[in-house]
Amino acid sequence: MSTSSSSPAGTESREAAVVDAAPKQLLIGGKWRAATGDRTYQVEDPSTGRALCSVADASPEDGIAALAAAHEAQATWAKHPPRERGEILRRAYELIQQRHEDLALLMTLEMGKPLPEARGEITYASEFFRWFAEEAVRIGGDYAVAPSGTGRFLVTQQPVGPTLLITPWNFPMAMGTRKIGPAIAAGCTSVIKPAHQTPLSMLALAEILQEAGLPDGVLNVVTAVGAGAVMEPMIRDGRARKLSFTGSTSVGRKLIEQSAEQVLNVSMELGGNAPFLVFADADLDTAVEGAMQAKMRNIGEACTAANRFYVHADVADEFSRRLAERMGSLRLGRGVADDVQVGPLIDATQLGKVDELVNDAVGHGAEVVVGGSRHDGEGYFYPPTVLKNVPAQARMTREEIFGPVAPISTFTDEQSAIDQANDTEYGLVAYVYTRDLNRALRVSEALESGMIGLNQGVVSNPAAPFGGVKASGLGREGGKVGIDEFLETKYIAIGGL
């Protein structure tokens, strides 16, 4: 593994220009404004640990003002023609495409992922706007004769109302468009609170939506270090009617408790502990390539990341060798450098957690095949790591690693593989590699997971439903069902016929 710490020649001025161009204030009721008391906080470059810029640090009062703006705009927005709601999303999609490179660079600077991955996320994020632009005009209903024949049933769908959206730092634009897109298409106004580590991508996106013609108050953005202090008053206020959150299960549980007071409609995309199953008959070339995608996408900082590798004993050594060879050859460094494949983790806390989990596994008997110790120097870097013979007692078999670490354990029969995969409170995604069709279907049906990657290392797609079971969440985002999370069903009974 080699490292690269410098930016390509002549890019520092462009980096500064991209950061300078991003909004730094709160967006409330269509107006960019400072936080109460002009409070700000610093956004950090995780590749250096140094500040990029300062942005507004909202107070609880700012949050309530944003909710009031969303509430005031709701009735008018709900009546806005569905076609025009879709056209706004379509125009925003086109503007994102036009600014693709600047948005990717901005994301890399605040989050750390290599530029090629940031470019991929910008494309992925924009596709949610294109998808829901098309879904806005397909909101349906039903008309039926009552079974008795003496009445009629009229069923319609209406926007759920003002919505609170909370997004994570790992996919700072895509997790926003995956929520904002269906909210706009359905006719809901929103207040969005991006993660404090990565506010710039969301602020840039909000500016694009304004330019695309989104009316004032339909999307409001509050940035803040203290998420709980700002969000809880809005959740308990009574004017919000829905909460959509992507983040950890522990925080999700707290938000569900808070939402119970007002009986808010909630969507929760929470933690994962994805098993990656490789059977003896798997195509190892395909399995290793899929493992690289499932593990190393976004530096391993993804809820869909393969967290536990269960490999049949007959092929475990060969799989481990090949995976370690691939991961050990990856180049570590600042994401803006052309040759970098692995950027920094998001902050010192996450770096410390990954290091702690690896040390715990090794302490329980796991063997380091490649990597295994934190990177020296500035920034929050951890080298791609492969561990084998990881015992069930290791914490990383139960906790999300959220880093570039692949822990490998073995199995000898199909049922034990299924049992180990299901031995977790989570159930977001699982990966299965086999060339036996019957086994593929049998195992996929037996796995307690909302999504399955069958001989495929990436499951995310704007046209497909995304979500999990058990402690991995409630509801689905994306696909045809994604807009349903922002709609209420109304039944009108018609008599006298």
Catalytic residues: 269
What phi and psi, each to the nearest 5 degrees, are found at residue 367?
-105, 135
**CA pair distance 269, 174, nearest whole angstrom:** 13
The total of other beta-carbon atoms located within 10 Å of residue 76's CB is: 13
Question: Is-contact 67 189, C-beta < 8 A?
Answer: no
Question: Is-contact 267 244, C-beta < 8 A?
Answer: yes
| Three-class SS state of 191 | strand
Can you list the positions of beta strands (E) in 232-317?
Answer: 242-246, 265-269, 274-278, 306-312
Question: Is-contact 143 492, C-beta < 8 A?
Answer: no
- Residue 438: exposed, middle, or buried by beta-carbon count in 10 A (0-12, 13-18, 19+)? exposed
Structure tokens at 459: 């499951």
Going 285 to 289 to 290 to 295, the CA torsion angle's sign is: positive
Structure tokens at 237: 């206020």
**CA pair distance 427, 377, nearest whole angstrom:** 37
**CA pair distance 489, 154, nearest whole angstrom:** 10
Structure tokens at 41: 């906080």
